[in-house]
Structure 1
Amino acid sequence: MTDRNNQNQNEQSAVNTFFSMLSAKFEILAKIPTMQFPAKYAVMLVGVIVVIFVWKTIAVSKVESDMAKKLEGERVLITQQAREYADQQYTKEEERFGQVLSWAVRGELIRHNIDQIDQYLSEIVKMKDTERVVLIGEDGQLLVSTDKRLEETKGVELFPKEILNLQKVTVKSDVDGKKILVVPVMGLNKKIATVVVSYKQPKF
C-alpha cells in the first residue's frame, strides 16, 4: 500500500514539475489565468472576428455567384449554338424537300391534274407539326388548300406579295406567327404557281 502511495506521489510530482518547466519556458502561459482584459478590448476583438467572418462569407458568396453566372452564360451560349446549327441543318433539309415538291407539282400542274396535287398536299399536311398546305396560282388565285375552309379565299389574302413573289425555295421563321416553307413552282420560262407549307411554331 505504501509503495502505491509513493508511486502516485511520484507521478503527481512529475506532472507538477512538467507544468512548472512549461510555465517557466512560456511565461505568458502562467500569466493567462491572472490577466484581465478591459471590456472594450474584448468587444473590439469580438468585432474583428465578426468582421473577418462576414468578409469571408461575402467573398465566398461572390465567388460562387460569379461561377454560377459564368456557367449559366456558357450553358446559354452552347444551347444557342446547338439550336442555330440544328436550324441550319433543318433549313437545308426543308429546301431539298421543297425542291422535290416543286418538281412534282410542276409536272401535275402542266397536265392540269389538280386532283393529284390535292393528294400530294393532303399527304404532306399529315407530317409532324404541319398545319396547312396551299397552292396559289401566279394570278393570286387559291388552287388547292388542305384547309377546306379557305376554298373561297384568294391566295393574296393569305400571304403578302413579297412571299408569293419569291423565286427560290425559302424558309421563313415568322410570318403572321407561323413558320412557312415557300416553294415556287417554275415553268419553262417563268413561275407558274407557289406552294406554301405552314408549320406550328415549336414551344421552348
Structure 2
Amino acid sequence: MTDRNKQDQNIQSQANTLFSMLSAKFEWVGKIPTMQLPAKYAAILVGIIVIIFAWKIIAVSKVESDMAKKLENERVLITQQAREYADLQYMKEEERFGQILSWAVRGELIRHNLDQIDQYLSEIVKMKDTERVVLIDDEGQLLVSTDKRLEETKGTELFPKEILNLQKVTVKSDVDGKKILVVPVMGLNKKIATVVVSYKLSKL
C-alpha cells in the first residue's frame, strides 16, 4: 500500500504542476476550481486541455527532430563536397609536381646522369607517406630505385604495361594496395622513361 500511496502522490503532484503551468499561461484555467460546474465536466475540460498541451509538445518535438535531420544531411553533403574539392586540388598539385619532376629527370637522363637522378628520387622518398620511387626506361628496364632490394628486378615485374605506357602524368588511387603517381618522361619525339612514385594509402 505504501508504494501505491507514493504513486498516487506522484500523480497528484504531476497533475498539480501541470495545472499550475496551465494556470500561469491561461488565466481562466486558474478559475476552474471556483466554478460551480459538475465534477465530470471539469475533468473533461482539464482532459481536453492536457491533450492539447501534449499535442503541442509532440508537434514541437517533431519539428525539432526534422530540423536536426535536415541539418545533419546538409552537414554530410557539405563535408563530402569539401573532400571532393580537396581531392581535386590534391590531384592538380600532384600533376604539377609530376610535370616538374619529369623535366628534371629528362635533363639528367639525356646526359646519362643516373647518379643525379638517384639523388632526386632519394629526396622525394623522404616526403610524407612516400614509400618508393623508381625510374623505368621505355623498354621496361629498372634504371633507378630508392628500394635497393629491387635493383635486379625488371620494371615490367613491378608494374603492368598499361601503367608504364601512360603518356601523361596520372594519379592512380589503388594499384596493388598503393596509390601511385605515374610520371612519363618525354624526349624530343617519344617517351623515354617513366617515374613511378608509390605512396602508402591513408587509413580510414
TM tier relative to shorter chain = 0.7 to 0.9
Residue ranges of structure 1 left out of the alignment (5+ in a row): 1-28
Match of 2:38 among 31, 36, 39: 36
Equivalent position amino acid for 2:89 in 1? Q
CA distance in 2, matches of 1:37, 1:138: 100
Identical-pair percentage: 84
- Give secondary structure in 2 for the equivalent of 1:157: helix
1:149–1:62 distance in 2 versus 1, CA, 3 Å: farther
- Give secondary structure in 2 for the equivalent of 1:136: strand
1:1-204 equivalence runs, <5 A: 32=34, 35-38=37-40, 42=43, 44-45=44-45, 47-204=47-204
Return the offset for 1:34. Answer: 5.0
Equivalent position amino acid for 1:134 in 2? V
Return the offset for 1:32. Answer: 4.3
Q: What per-residue deviation string (whole Å, max 9, x for no partner) do you get for residues 32-86 of structure 1?
A: 46543239x73x5565445434433332222122111221222222222222222
1:66–1:164 distance in 2 versus 1, CA, 3 Å: same
TM-score (norm 2): 0.73
Q: Quote the RMSD (CA, aligned, Å).
A: 2.6
Q: What per-residue deviation string (whole Å, max 9, x for no partner) do you get for residues 11-34 of structure 1?
A: xxxxxxxxxxxxxxxxxx7x9465
TM-score (norm 1): 0.73
- Give secondary structure in 2 for the equivalent of 1:38: helix
CA distance in 2, matches of 1:134, 1:172: 16
1:188–1:61 distance in 2 versus 1, CA, 3 Å: same
Residue ranges of structure 2 left out of the alignment (5+ in a row): 1-30
Larger mean CA deviation between 145-154 and 127-136 belongs to 145-154
- Give secondary structure in 1 for the equivalent of 2:39: coil
Larger Rg: 1
Equivalent position amino acid for 1:127 in 2? M
